[in-house]
Structure formats: C-alpha cells, structure tokens
C-alpha cells in the first residue's frame, strides 16, 4: 500500500526537517546521557566518583596519596553502587528538582559510608577529613549537575514513541504520555484507513502496520507501543516483529507504564497479565531477609525513639483528654485482620457517625494531631506492629475492613495487596499524594501493584530513603 502525499509531508514536518528549539550542544549532551534503563547514568556516576576521589587525593594540601588512582577507581565503583541502590533519579523520569537534590545527597552519603567502611577494613588510615569532604563535595556536584542540565533541556532527550492504535485506548494513553517529560509521541498508526486523514489530539495518523517500518525510520522512532487492550491477531503481530530488526522496541501498555510511570495501569491489564509476575512466598530468601531486617530495624527504632514516645504521650495527655493510643482494625497479609496502634490525633468523637475517609485537611484532627501527622510521629507505635509481625517497614498501607468491601466492588485486583505484608511506608506513599477518595485509592493501588511485582531490597531501600526525603520536606 502506497503512502499518500499528505502522509509523506507529515513525516517530513515531524522528522529531521524540523529544527529543535534548543541549542545543538545541549541536545547532544542530553542525548549522550539519555538512557531509559539508567545504565549510562550509572557509568557516569562511577566515572565521576572515581574522578572526585582522585581529585581529592591530589588537590588537597596533604600531598598525593599512595595508590590514589587504584583507590579512586574502587571508590568510584562504590559511589556508583550507592547511587544505584538509592535510585538517584534519571531526568527522563520527570523528577522534581527537590527530589534530585535530596536523593542525590543521600546517595553521596551512602557512597561515603561504603568507602569509609572499605578503607577501615583495609586499614588504609591516610585519608584525612578534608579529603573525605572534598571527595563528597566534588562527587555531589559532578553527579547532580548533569542531571539538572538534562532535566532542563526541553524536548531534546525525549524518547520518540509511535502509538499503534488510534481509537479510544490510544487517545487515552496519549493524554498520559503528554505529561511525561521523557516521552515525545510523534504520531499514530492504525489499520483503519478512516483515521489516516484525521488529526488525533494534534497528532497525525501516518498509515497502518505496513507503513510502520518507513514511519519509524523517517521519524527516528525508538519505541512502538501497541495501544490496544485486546491481544493483536497473529498476522499483525508477525508484521510487527520486523520492527525489531531496525532497532525499534515494541511494548504493550502495561509494560510501558511500569517502565516510565513506575505503576501498573489497572484499566489496561487483565488477570492473565498479572499471572506473569513472580511468585511471592514467605520461604524465599528475599522474604526471609526482609523479615530479619524488619525485626532488627524495629527493635533499633523502638530503643532510639523511646524518649520521643514519652514526649508525645505527655503532650497528648495534656492537650487532648482521653487515651494516648489509638487502636483500629486493619486488613493485613493473606487477608488477616490485625489491630494497628498509633498515637491518637483526632477528637474522641471523630467517628460518632461511623467510619469516614480521612483527608489531608480533616477537621477532626486536633492542632497537636496535625503536627504529629505532618512529622509522622503518630506512626511510631506501629514499630510494635512491625516487631510482632503484623506489618513490615515497607509495603502497601493497610486499609480498614469497613472500606474494603466498597473498594473491591469498583476497583479490580485490590485483593492483590494481600500477597505481601502491609508496611509503614510504601511505593504509593512516596509517589502519590495523600489519598482521600476512591480515585486516590485506585491510583495508589497502581503503585502498590508495581511494588508487589518488583519488590526487592533495592526498592525497599529507595522507599525508606524517599520517606526520609518526605519527612525533611514536611509532607505526608
């Protein structure tokens, strides 16, 4: 089938014939470091870490260090490892500048700790405090600065995406992708010729699956997303296989959401798709290590926070007549209910009319309770729930049984949250705002499903560090 003249002109206008709005140097720099998987950023962090260590050894007034180059290389690897563990954001994931600055700082601190432990283990005692300070400062500047530059280069490093399917699903997906700083939708293809002459939300439809190779080549497309809920017929799927020979990645909607939005889109998945996830059992080494970490950290947290318990309990007793602690039934692992314990933050008659949704500006919360919620001091007693085994430090937040029946009527796959232990903080809590209605519950479930499918020590560490970032920012 021959492409029409209008489609050919659309390809030219969308392709390399159009000049970018940014300078060539910034575009080249952004594309050099752009990486959907993050590998280039990891290599950059290793290089900067090694260069910062070598510079600190040689630029201080204490003279050159023996074996400075070798130690600098090892320190660079440890700094890159720390950045990977902490999940220093890639600019392509559209992080805020606050997140970039704070998480990078936490990554540098972890990297310095790893390097310090290694140097102490090797009895390498010639590294002074000024060298450590210069090492951390140079690494922080070198790792953070290019991320800030790339995140500020509008449109130069976006991944060019072509959508296969111009119907309702494709248009709904387009609205989501337009909000992502790392993606640029260049157009549609669809096997229905009626779409070929239409402009879909300002984007052209450039033919069908037969025209896809030419369209991808002309527009420098890197990723083709099949924007359809139903599986493709076998003949069309075979035609798409040709795209892989020209370097175009092919993804479906759920996989695209997982990679670029770090959540699972409930509206675009099925039970069959969820079956592709890994098996979660309490006997796996990862789950055993997670439980041991929960016990150790909860014991340490209870011991360290004991003075705060006394202060908070005394403040509640003075400012709010009634009990200090608040107990409430929640649904836990394997659909088993348990009683969660918190410091009381609401009035005694808060639920005189029955169970109600809580929101960020709930009038039932007292002034002291609002402060406790803002600082999350009200959740300190939940460390006891963690120690008992009712909860984990990281996992989906447990919901009240009174709400679950209504939630499961309108939101599918909500019962998947019971596959893992509920947590003090979770991926939904650090990625989404405070939930106050069913729509918020749905969005949070999408993040919880991502966590359940991708849970690991690294992801747990990132959640805990981002929780610290939220506490420093004063958000809940």
For 194-352, where are the E strands, in sequence order?
Answer: 199-200, 203-204, 223-226, 249-252, 325-331, 337-343
- Domain end position, chosen among 93, 125, 152: 152
DSSP string, 379-433: GTTHHHHHHHTS-EEESPPPPPHHHHHHHHHHSTTGGGGGGS--EEE-HHHHHS-
- Residue 279 located in a structural domain: no
Secondary structure of residue 161 in the 3-state scheme: strand
Q: How confident is the model at residue 355 (pLDDT cuts 50, 70, 90)?
A: low
- For the cut 70, the answer to whether the pLDDT of residue 28 exceeds it is no
Domain assignment present for residue 309? The answer is: yes
Domain's final residue, options 222, 245, 261:
261
Backbone angles phi, psi at 145, to 5 degrees: -55, -50
Is residue 166 domain-shared with residue 131, that is, in the same domain?
A: no
| Residue 296 and residue 373 share a domain | yes
Whether 128 is covered by a domain: the verdict is: yes
Number of neighbouring beta carbons within 10 Å of residue 253: 24
Residues 31-61: pLDDT tens digits?
555 555 567 888 999 999 999 998 888 876 6
Q: What is the per-residue pLDDT for 237?
A: 85
Same domain (yes/no): 316, 401: yes
Phi, psi of 224 (to 5 degrees): -115, 120
Asked if 58 and 64 count as a contact pair (C-beta separation under 8 A), the reply is yes
Examine residue 355 and state whether it is found in any structural domain, yes or no.
no
Which residue is listed with tokens 């479930």? 445
Q: Which residue, of 125, 152, 179, is where some domain finishes?
A: 152
If you ran DSSP here, which 8-state letter would residue 346 be given?
B
Number of Cβ atoms within 10 Å of the Cβ of 347:
16
* Residue the block writes with tokens 């506490």: 471
Give the rounded percent of residues in the chain with a pLDDT score beyond 90. 37
Residues 142 and 223 in one domain: no
Shared-domain flag, residues 341 and 468: yes
- Let me know whether 120 and 178 are in one domain: no
Q: Dihedral sign, CA of 223, 202, 177, 237?
A: negative
**Residue 437, in any domain of the structure:** yes
Average pLDDT, integer, range 435-451: 88
What pLDDT score does 356 carry? 66
Residues 246 and 175 in one domain: yes
Provide the β-strand partners of residue 425.
394
Residue 56 lies in a domain: yes
Q: Nearest 5°: phi and psi at 42?
A: -65, -45
Q: Is the pTM of this model over 0.75?
A: yes
Return the pLDDT at 352.
63
Residue 12: pLDDT band by 50, 70, 90 thresholds?
A: very low
Q: Is the pLDDT of residue 24 over 80?
A: no
Q: Shortest CA distance to 211 belongs to which of 5, 2, 11?
A: 2
CA distances from 345 to 319, 327, 364, 400 (A): 11, 12, 9, 17
Domain co-membership, 124 together with 233: no
188 plus 106 within the same structural domain: no
337 shares a domain with 414: yes
Residues 46, 182, single domain; the answer is no
d(C-alpha 104, C-alpha 146), whole Å: 12
Q: Are 327 and 459 in a shared domain? A: yes
Q: What is the DSSP letter of 92?
A: G
Domain of residue 290, residue span: 285-349+361-473
Q: What is the pLDDT of residue 77?
A: 93
Domain count for the chain: 3
Question: For residues 330 and 151, which has the higher predicted lDDT (pLDDT)?
Answer: 330
């Amino acid at each position: 089938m021959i492409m029409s003249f209008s489609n050919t002109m659309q390809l030219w206008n969308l392709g390399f014939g159009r000049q970018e709005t940014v300078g060539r140097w910034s575009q080249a720099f952004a594309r050099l470091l752009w990486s959907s998987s993050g590998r280039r950023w990891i290599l950059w962090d290793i290089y900067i870490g090694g260069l910062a260590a070598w510079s600190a050894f040689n630029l201080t007034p204490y003279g050159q260090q023996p074996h400075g180059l070798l130690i600098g290389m090892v320190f660079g690897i440890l700094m890159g490892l720390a950045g990977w563990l902490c999940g220093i954001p890639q600019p392509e994931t559209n992080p805020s500048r606050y997140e970039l600055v704070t998480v990078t700082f936490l990554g540098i601190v972890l990297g310095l700790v790893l390097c310090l432990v290694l140097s102490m283990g090797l009895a390498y005692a010639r590294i002074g405090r000024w060298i450590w300070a210069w090492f951390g400062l140079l690494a922080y500047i070198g790792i953070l600065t290019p991320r800030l530059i790339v995140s500020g280069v509008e449109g130069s490093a976006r991944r060019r995406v072509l959508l296969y399917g111009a119907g309702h699903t494709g248009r709904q997906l387009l609205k989501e992708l337009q909000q992502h700083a790392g993606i640029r939708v260049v157009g549609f293809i669809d096997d229905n010729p009626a779409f070929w002459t239409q402009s879909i939300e300002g984007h052209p439809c450039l033919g069908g699956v037969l025209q896809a190779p030419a369209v991808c080549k002309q527009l420098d497309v890197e990723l083709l997303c099949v924007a359809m809920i139903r599986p493709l017929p076998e003949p069309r799927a075979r035609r798409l296989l040709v795209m892989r020979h020209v370097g175009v990645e092919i993804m479906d909607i759920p996989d695209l959401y997982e990679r670029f939005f770090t959540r699972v889109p409930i509206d675009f998945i099925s039970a069959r798709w969820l079956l592709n996830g890994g098996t979660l059992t309490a006997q796996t080494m990862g789950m055993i290590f997670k439980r041991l970490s929960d016990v150790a950290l909860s014991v340490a947290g209870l011991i360290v926070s004991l003075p705060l318990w006394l202060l908070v309990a005394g403040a509640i007793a003075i400012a709010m007549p009634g009990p200090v602690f608040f107990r409430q039934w929640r649904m836990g692992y394997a659909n088993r209910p348990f009683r969660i314990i918190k410091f009381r933050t609401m009035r005694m008659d808060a639920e005189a009319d029955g169970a109600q949704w809580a929101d960020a500006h709930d009038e039932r919360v007292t002034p002291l309770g609002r402060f406790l919620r803002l600082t999350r001091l009200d959740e300190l007693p939940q460390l006891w729930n963690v120690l008992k085994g009712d909860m984990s430090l990281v996992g989906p937040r447990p919901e009240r049984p009174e709400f679950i029946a209504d939630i499961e009527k309108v939101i599918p796959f909500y019962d998947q949250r019971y596959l893992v232990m509920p947590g003090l903080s979770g991926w939904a809590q650090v990625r989404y705002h405070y939930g106050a209605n069913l729509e918020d519950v749905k969005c949070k479930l999408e993040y919880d499903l991502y966590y359940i499918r991708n849970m690991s020590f690294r992801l747990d560490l990132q959640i805990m560090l981002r929780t610290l970032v939220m506490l420093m920012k004063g958000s809940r």
